[in-house]
Amino acid sequence: MPAPNKAQERLSQVGGHLSHSSITPSSSPKTSILHSSPDDVVVTCALRTPFTKGGKGLFKDTPGADLLAGTFKNLISRSKIDPSLVEDIAVGNVLAPGAGATEFRAAALVAGFPDSTAVKSLNRQCSSGLQACVDIANEIRTGMIEIGVGAGVESMSSQYGPGAVTEFSELLENHMQAANCKVPMGVLSEQMAKDKKIPRTEQDAFAASSYQKALKAQEAGLFDEEIAPLTVKYTDPKTDEEKTVTVTKDDGVRPGITAESLGKIRAAFAKDGSIHAGNASQVSDGAAAVLMMKRSTAQRLHQPILGKFVAASIVGVPPLLMGIGPWKAIPEALAKAGVSKDDVDIYEINEAFASQAVWCVKELGLPFDKVNPKGGAIAFGHPLGCTGARQVSTLLSELRRTGKKIGVSSMCVGTGMGMAAVWVAE
């Protein structure tokens, strides 16, 4: 690759700064956020694997690191980026021992990144994938790196269950708030539904809508842009025959789901409860990756620009109210970006449970038709460490398809947190 013309790049930056100075004090915050600058942190490629059912789907025999390696290969192929230019990769993961630090480094090498590309893993529970993207964006903003990848992966087939729960010491067990951190999220969501008076009928209606939107989007091919198919080995549980299969679509999306059909499913956590398998996120396997760099770098490398990262927030809430995280995180992210909730065209709010998603949307005063227009985790799954990175591809592809601009991705986070980020599509 020829050496970049630094003089031309600097002229482009100066021109961008001059253009930026033309925004008058009377310009609206929305006008400002839509302005392009050479220093913007942009996304030039964002993709994910299909999501498959944990323990049952076509990825059940594929280790998480292999899902990640395949995703990295697809990212390199689709973006046509020179792998040697990628300086750092951050991978969100929740369940793998050691957060997958060793095997994710190996996955990057297998995928074709050179040994000069650094890799880290991180665990902020359900927001791990988003945190990975934000970490890379901040590294680029500060000049620590020029090009990086934010990613997420989870094999819930192999690592989900009681073994993933950490034992607490006596010191932690004897602190009330600390002890609350280990209460199962389903139990917390059930309690929240009761405390916040969210009836099962509302939860089931929201869940049914998620399935219906996802099915419609899948049938119309609206996920095709964000999904990169993956070929893996699969052992048929009925015959024990090992097959090579190419996975092309989410397998959790089901036809014929209605609020009435969901109303017949038995509650999972209390006899008179409202949380059940049909109105909670699916246990799934999957991976996602997002390629990021400065706008000036993307222009120099002739990388297509899908959108840009604007701002993010991370907040804490009481552990017993884990599900309210987006309600607190979204306003903070919007304030950092300098826009109002009405300026946002699409919200991707993770559907950990219908109860918490419904409460957050209503409490924030958001129109339901702006939330998860292609469905969400209830319909196609929530591989824990992956979802935050998956939302970036889902959000930017839908904004671009519909000619809209401003989007927010957000989720509640186990142990009582919330995270949100603001993105602009191009």
Inter-CA distances, 70 with 46, 50, 65, 108, 189, Å: 14, 12, 9, 9, 34
- Given a contact cutoff of 8 angstroms between Cβ atoms, the answer to whether 39 and 369 are in contact is no
DSSP state of 281: P
- Given a contact cutoff of 8 angstroms between Cβ atoms, the answer to whether 406 and 321 are in contact is no
- 3-state SS class at 115: coil
126 is catalytic: yes
Helices (H) and strands (E) in the chain, counts: 16, 12
Please report which residue ranges of 220-353 form alpha helices under DSSP H. 259-262, 295-301, 325-337
| Distance linking the first and last C-alpha atoms of the chain | 27
Annotated catalytic residue, options 45, 360, 382, 386: 382
Can you read off the two tokens belonging to residue 310?
A: 């604007």
Cite the beta strand spans of 265-306 per DSSP E: 284-294
DSSP state of 353: B
With left for phi above 0 and alpha for psi between -120 and 50, is residue 256 left, alpha or beta?
A: left
386 is catalytic: no
Q: What are phi and psi of 149, to 5 degrees?
A: -125, 125
Containing 127, the helix (H) or strand (E) segment is none
Percent helix / strand / coil, the chain, rounded to 5:
45, 20, 35
Annotated catalytic residue, options 126, 133, 360, 386: 126
Can you read off the two tokens belonging to residue 173?
A: 């067990």
SS3 assignment for 163-195: HHCCCCCHHHHCCHHHHHCCCCHHHHHHHHHHH
Could you tell me which of 183, 355, 357 has the C-alpha nearest to residue 267?
Answer: 355
181 is catalytic: no
The catalytic site residues sit at 126, 382, 412
